Structure 1
Amino acid sequence: MRKNIVRQEVATTSNRVTLDLDRHVPYFFTYISNKLSRGASDTYRKHFGLGITEWRVMGVLAGMPDISANQIISAIGLDKGAVSRGLHVLEQERLVTSEPDPKDNRSRIMRLSKSGNALHDRIIVAALAREKRLLSTLSPEEVEILIVCLRKLRANVPYVNAYDPLDPAPGKRRK
Structure 2
Amino acid sequence: MFDLNNFIPYRLNQAAQQTSEALARKYRNQYGLTVPEWRVLAHLGKYDKLSVRDLEKAIGLDRVAASRAGTSLCSKGWVQKIVNEQDRRLVEFSLTDVGREHYGKVVVLATSTEELLLKTLNKSDQKKLLELLCKVEETARKIT
Task: Say whether the fold is shared (TM-score over 0.5).
Answer: yes
The CA RMSD measured in Å over matched residues stands at 1.7
Task: Could you tell me which runs of 5 or more consecutive residues in structure 2 were left unpaired when the two chains were aligned.
Answer: none
Structure number with greater CO (CA < 8 Å, separation at least 6) is 2
Q: How does 1:24-43 map to 2 (within 5 A)?
A: 24-43=7-26
* Alpha-carbon distance between aligned partners in 2 of 1:116 and 1:67, rounded to the nearest angstrom: 14
Q: Which one of 59, 63, 66 corresponds to residue 42 of structure 2?
A: 59
Q: Which one of 138, 143, 153 corresponds to residue 136 of structure 2?
A: 153
* Alpha-carbon distance between aligned partners in 2 of 1:104 and 1:149, rounded to the nearest angstrom: 42
Report the count of equivalent residues: 144
Q: Which one of 138, 141, 155 corresponds to residue 124 of structure 2?
A: 141
Moved more, 102-111 or 33-42: 102-111
Q: What per-residue deviation string (whole Å, max 9, x for no partner) do you get for residues 69-113 of structure 1?
A: 111111112233322221121111121112124675431121111
Q: What per-residue deviation string (whole Å, max 9, x for no partner) do you get for residues 121-169 of structure 1?
A: 1111110000011111111111111111111122222212x1xxxxxxx
Residues 1:137 and 1:110: Cα distance change in structure 2 (over 3 Å): same
Matching residue of 1:97: 80
* Greater fraction strand: 1
Q: What per-residue deviation string (whole Å, max 9, x for no partner) do you get for residues 22-61 of structure 1?
A: 2211111221122111111111111112122211110011
Residues 1:158 and 1:22: Cα distance change in structure 2 (over 3 Å): same
Matching residue of 2:4: 21
| SS in structure 2 at match of 1:33 | helix
Residues 1:151 and 1:159: Cα distance change in structure 2 (over 3 Å): same
Q: TM-score when scaled to structure 2?
A: 0.90
Matching residue of 1:113: 96
Pick the structure with greater CA Rg: 1
* Alpha-carbon distance between aligned partners in 1 of 2:113 and 2:24, rounded to the nearest angstrom: 12
Q: TM-score when scaled to structure 1?
A: 0.75
* Alpha-carbon distance between aligned partners in 1 of 2:90 and 2:140, rounded to the nearest angstrom: 27
Matching residue of 1:50: 33
